[in-house]
Amino acid sequence: MTASLLLLALASYLGLGILFSIAFAFKGVGRVDPTAAHGTWGFRLLILPGSIMLWPLLARRWLGGTQSPPEERNSHRLAARL
């Protein structure tokens, strides 16, 4: 019973990820990262597996209207600001 529910949840997650990643690779990637808007077909195929697995994070960025990648936050950058 538990294994069936776990497999159903995993299949649902991957199914939604596949549907999302197709739309994201052809429309959404340009809105999240403007330099990726001019990517080739090969680039779009390469980002499909990652967008399938990370679809909740990418959907939040796409729907949130983020126009550029976030700036990396580490101790060196924080020290440089001071």
Over residues 18-26, the mean pLDDT reads 94
- For helices 2-23 and 55-64, what crossing angle results, to 10°? 40
More confident residue, 53 or 64: 53
The CA-to-CA distance between both ends of the chain, in Å, stands at: 56
Every domain of the chain and the residues it spans: 2-68
Name the phi and psi angles at 73, rounded to 5.
-115, 115
H or E, element range at 18 = helix 2-23
More confident residue, 1 or 47: 47
pTM: 0.74
Amino acid type, 72: E
Q: pLDDT grade, residue 82 (50/70/90)? A: confident
Name the phi and psi angles at 52, rounded to 5.
-65, -45
